[in-house]
């Protein structure tokens, strides 16, 4: 009986802190449908073969380009041989000779099913990269539809992958890397085709960034590419192939949405590939870092509709993988994967809901989603006991339209949410809290009006979150921009990264048992902080590993260490500094 009383007390405490309300599955009635609808983006009208994009490349881009051709699923040996010949000619600098062979290739294969992948030998930087204090543009393209963002923890490199409508005749996706915490971005890879691409997702694990998407005019192939996490260059898989087909569908079924996630934040050795198909099935596959032998686990889900998101839980109890999506009954549905695939809870959303988002950290699971009742709102479900009990809440004014949420809850950074707030001047808003308690007052984080497509947010480290969002129509239509925000509990200096390295004096000093050490990093670097006694003997390592630029604090609990003078030493990249502190019992 005692444990149930404690659980109730915890539940009521959470309600008091966050204005959250107990949710019992199946109790709520469906909300009344709202009238507001998103603008529809017109599909491209293709007027030329896909290879004509190569023909329009200026010489300097051709010389910087290395291509691979992706033909239809059942391409003949003759077509594959011709594609290999074209690749060799182009990549060897014989551009006109390569272009002259495409009409012949058209007689051997369905050219409308062909795609072209292009690796830039030297990555192409964004033309108008802007320093901190203003949003930073990612790439030189507009008409973006889908964004994906992830971080490589070991190096601090950021990856943004964008799905866009291209040059008016192609649908394409591009890979961008930032090696300086998002201040500058370069395009490393460009992939295009003449058919629509329904969905795209990206995830980093070990030393690779993986990109998954749906391919073909029938959208019947779930493809996977991978890129070196240290430089963003495309990598072949272990079998020598440039891409992997994770699974295929059979007509009339096709792939509607895909979502990738990984266990980078703990074991760092598994990639997970999920997808919703047009026949409402939820597909789930996993593999190790080789990614050539995929294992499918049957979910039993046959009512998945849209809005798929997935996350791993680095401190999981029962469930190491969580998913959220909208089902065919117009409900948010949250599932968990342990030894079996389990449906955990549902929540009525109303009709025409496009997006859900989910994050998990230890026992806290949070899902933000669009709620279309008498108005359009962003709501959330949260569980503080690994999915047993749920509360619902909201973070902003419910009389104004809010939509398109994404969240990040990784690596101990708390829970951050971003969404569009539909005031007369559209705002991209951000809020944060620790894994329980009150939410920060939402703030507008973007320099430009945002488009309604879902943004992407990830925890970078040091209290800093990075966000990729799309502009409305100024300064470009649906261009991708990067912004960042610092949670208020870490520091109130939210205008820029520190300009220089600094190690602060510990406080309090003198201290009894516990003290805090602050330091700042102007960029990503390896950091180690160690405590020594007056004889030079190491007492403890307080932190060790790669950290992005930002403001940090680390505490030392001296435990049973006797009174006396001690020294703390930081090694941060090429910077080394030592300070003295006094422990008094």
Q: Residue 361, SS3?
A: strand
Half-sphere exposure of 343 (CA within 13 A, CB side): 17
Residue 160 pLDDT > 70, yes or no?
yes
**What pLDDT score was predicted for residue 1?**
32
Domains annotated for the chain, with CATH where assigned, are 43-175+189-302 (no CATH), 502-583 (2.60.40.1930)
What pLDDT band is residue 195 in, cutting at 50, 70 and 90?
very high
**Any idea which residue has 């601090």 for tokens?**
156
456-486 tens-digit pLDDT? 999 998 888 999 999 999 899 999 999 987 5
Does residue 221 sit in helix, strand or coil? strand
> What is the pLDDT of the chain when averaged over all its residues?
89
Over residues 210-229, mean pLDDT:
96
pTM across the whole model = 0.83
Lowest mean pLDDT, pick from 123-137, 244-258, 412-426, 465-479? 123-137
449-453, 467-471, 481-485, 566-570: lowest mean pLDDT where? Answer: 481-485
Q: What angle do CA 135, 139, 140 make, to 5 degrees?
A: 105
CB count, 10 Å around CB of 139?
Answer: 22
Rounded Cα gap, residues 338 and 489, in angstroms:
34
In this prediction, residue 2 carries a pLDDT of 31
Would you place residue 371 in the very low, low, confident or very high pLDDT band (cuts 50, 70, 90)? Answer: very high
Question: Could you tell me which residues come within 8 angstroms of residue 12 by beta carbon, excluding any fewer than 6 positions away?
Answer: none
* Res 335: pLDDT: 98
Please check whether residue 470 is in contact with residue 455, taking contact to mean a CB–CB distance below 8 angstroms. yes
CB atoms under 10 Å from CB of 36, counted, come to 12
Torsion of CA 248, 253, 259, 263, to 10 degrees: -50
Assess whether pLDDT exceeds 80 at residue 23: no
Q: What is the pLDDT of residue 555?
A: 82
Q: Report, as an integer, the average pLDDT of 83-99.
A: 98
E runs forming strands in 304-389:
304-312, 321-327, 331-337, 341-348, 356-361, 364-372, 376-383
Q: Identify the H or E element spanning 4.
A: helix 2-18
Task: Give the separation between CA 564 and CA 583, rounded to whole angstroms.
Answer: 5
Cβ proximity of 118 and 190 under 8 Å:
yes
Shortest CA distance to 203 belongs to which of 147, 264, 257? 264
Q: What pLDDT, on a 0 to 100 scale, did the predictor assign at position 10?
A: 38
Residue 374: partners with Cβ closer than 8 Å, 6 or more residues away = 31, 32, 34
Largest CA distance in the chain: 86
Burial pattern 94-128, b for ≥16 Cβ within 10 A else e, equals ebeebbebbeebbebbebebbbbbbbbeebbebee
State the DSSP code for 64. T
């Amino acid at each position: 009986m005692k444990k149930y009383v404690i659980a109730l007390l915890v539940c009521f405490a959470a309600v008091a802190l966050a204005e959250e309300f107990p949710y019992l599955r199946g109790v709520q009635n469906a909300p009344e449908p709202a009238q507001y609808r998103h603008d529809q983006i017109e599909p491209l009208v293709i007027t030329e073969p896909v290879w004509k994009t190569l023909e329009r490349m200026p010489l300097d881009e051709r010389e910087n380009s290395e291509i691979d051709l992706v033909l239809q699923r059942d391409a003949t040996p003759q077509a594959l041989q011709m594609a290999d010949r074209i690749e060799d000619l182009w990549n060897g600098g014989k551009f006109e000779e390569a272009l002259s062979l495409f009409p012949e290739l058209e007689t051997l294969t369905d050219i409308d099913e062909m795609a072209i992948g292009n690796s830039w030998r030297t990555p192409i930087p964004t033309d108008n990269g802007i320093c901190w204090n203003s949003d930073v543009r990612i790439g030189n393209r507009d008409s973006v539809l889908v964004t994906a963002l992830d971080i490589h923890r070991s190096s601090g490199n950021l990856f943004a992958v964008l799905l866009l409508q291209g040059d008016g005749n192609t649908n394409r996706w591009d890979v961008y890397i930032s090696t300086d915490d998002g201040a500058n971005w370069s395009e490393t890879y460009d992939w295009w085709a003449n058919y629509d691409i329904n969905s795209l997702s990206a995830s980093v694990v070990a030393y690779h960034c993986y990109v998954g998407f749906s391919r073909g005019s029938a959208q019947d192939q779930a493809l996977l590419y991978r890129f070196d996490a240290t430089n963003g260059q495309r990598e072949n898989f272990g079998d020598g192939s440039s891409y992997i087909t994770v699974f295929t569908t059979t007509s009339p079924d096709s792939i509607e949405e895909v979502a990738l996630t990984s266990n980078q934040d703990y074991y760092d050795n598994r990639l997970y590939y999920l997808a919703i198909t047009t026949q409402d099935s939820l597909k789930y596959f996993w593999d190790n870092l080789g990614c050539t032998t995929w294992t499918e686990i049957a979910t039993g889900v046959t009512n998945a509709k849209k809005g798929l998101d997935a996350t791993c839980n680095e401190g999981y109890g029962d469930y190491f993988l969580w998913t959220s999506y909208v089902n065919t009954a117009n409900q948010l549905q949250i599932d968990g994967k342990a030894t079996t695939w389990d449906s955990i809870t549902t929540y009525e959303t109303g009709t025409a809901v496009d997006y859900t988002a989910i994050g998990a950290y230890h026992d806290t699971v949070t899902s933000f989603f669009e709620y279309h009742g008498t108005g359009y709102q962003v709501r959330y479900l949260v569980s503080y006991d690994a999915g047993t009990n749920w509360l619902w809440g909201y973070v902003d004014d419910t009389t104004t339209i809010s939509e398109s949420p994404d969240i990040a809850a990784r690596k101990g950074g708390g829970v951050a949410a971003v969404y569009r707030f539909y005031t007369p001047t559209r705002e991209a808003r951000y809020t944060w809290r620790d894994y329980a308690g009150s939410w920060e007052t939402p703030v507008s984080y973007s320099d430009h009006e945002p488009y309604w497509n879902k943004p992407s947010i990830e925890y970078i480290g040091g209290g800093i979150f990075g966000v990729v969002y799309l502009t409305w129509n100024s300064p470009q239509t649906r261009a991708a921009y990067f912004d960042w925000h610092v949670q208020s509990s870490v520091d109130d200096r939210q205008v820029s990264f520190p300009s220089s390295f600094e190690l602060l004096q510990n406080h309090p000093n003198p201290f009894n048992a516990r003290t805090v050490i602050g330091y700042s990093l102007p960029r990503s670097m390896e950091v180690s902080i160690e405590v020594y006694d007056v004889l030079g003997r190491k007492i403890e390592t307080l932190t060790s590993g790669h950290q992005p630029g930002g403001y940090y604090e680390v505490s030392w609990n001296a435990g049973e260490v006797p009174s006396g003078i001690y020294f703390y030493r930081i090694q941060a990249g090429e910077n080394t500094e030592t300070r003295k502190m006094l422990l008094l019992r």
